[in-house]
């Protein structure tokens, strides 16, 4: 018998839930006609069930690696959910499931290297929940990679120092030349170590998300 209400879909969702990504996506798509054609909710409880359904779906799409699709889904559902929260005066249901939508969008943008857009999302989440270490960690990583252009400029300067030292050696005093070499070598090593640390942090965050 086909499911016809959000409550029925949610009950089946909880009863048949497994962690594998594909079955979760398939479950949502089988019930997409009812979910996507819901125009409003009769009460806050039904809206909360709806948020959990779309939250799990967008998370599954993100875990599948379809980042652009996950972003589009969040943008699509977020407007509708926010309008219904306002209509039902239900701000109290802005819980972890609700904020997971913004988090999924932020991480998807991060994975697409759009740090300029992901950083404000993480900033907003940290303001809302300053004790949430996951939000703070993602904000930190996004800000670091957003500043990568500074590291690139420094790397170019250091390479130029090496080139100057190599091709204009006879015009540079020995002590100054040695200083060039030390500064350039230490700088390049420091940048490589720093970038290695960030990449390791990124891999850890991906496993946790």
Q: What is the pLDDT of residues 6-28, one digit of tens each?
A: 999 999 999 988 889 999 999 99
Q: Which residue has the higher pLDDT, 96 or 154?
A: 96
pTM of the model: 0.76
* CA–CA dist 38, 54 (Å, integer): 12
**Quick one: angle between helices 96-111 and 44-63, nearest 10?**
20
- Give the span between the Cα atoms of 117 and 132, in whole angstroms: 20
Q: Is the predicted pLDDT of residue 120 greater than 80, yes or no?
A: yes
Residue that the structure tokens 């089988």 belong to = 30
The answer to whether 49 and 14 are in contact (CB under 8 A) is no
- Judged against a pLDDT cut of 70, whether residue 204 lies above it is answered with no
Q: Provide the pLDDT confidence category of residue 158 given band limits of 50, 70 and 90.
A: confident
Counting every residue written for the chain, the total comes to 209
What tens digit of pLDDT does each residue of 131-143 get?
Answer: 999 999 899 888 8
Domains of the chain, residue spans? 6-114, 148-206
- How far does Cα 149 stand from its chain's mean position? 20
């Amino acid at each position: 018998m086909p499911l016809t209400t959000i409550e029925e879909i949610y009950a089946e969702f909880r009863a048949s839930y497994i962690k594998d990504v594909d079955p979760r996506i398939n479950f949502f798509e089988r019930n997409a006609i009812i979910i996507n054609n819901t125009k409003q909710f009769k009460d806050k409880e039904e809206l909360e069930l709806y948020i959990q359904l779309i939250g799990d779906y967008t998370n599954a799409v993100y875990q599948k690696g379809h980042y652009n699709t996950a972003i589009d889904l969040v943008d699509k559902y977020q407007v509708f959910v926010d309008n219904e929260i306002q209509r039902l005066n239900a701000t109290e249901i802005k819980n972890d499931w609700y904020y997971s939508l913004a988090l999924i969008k932020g991480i998807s943008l991060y994975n697409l290297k759009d740090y300029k857009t992901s950083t404000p999302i993480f900033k907003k989440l940290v303001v809302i929940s300053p004790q949430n270490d996951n939000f703070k960690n993602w904000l930190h990583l996004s800000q670091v990679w957003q500043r990568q252009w500074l590291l690139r400029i420094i790397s170019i300067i250091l390479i130029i120092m090496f080139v100057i030292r190599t091709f204009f050696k006879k015009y540079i005093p020995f002590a100054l030349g040695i200083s060039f070499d030390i500064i350039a070598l230490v700088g390049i090593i420091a940048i490589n170590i720093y970038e290695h640390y960030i990449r390791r942090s990124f891999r850890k965050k991906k496993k946790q998300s």
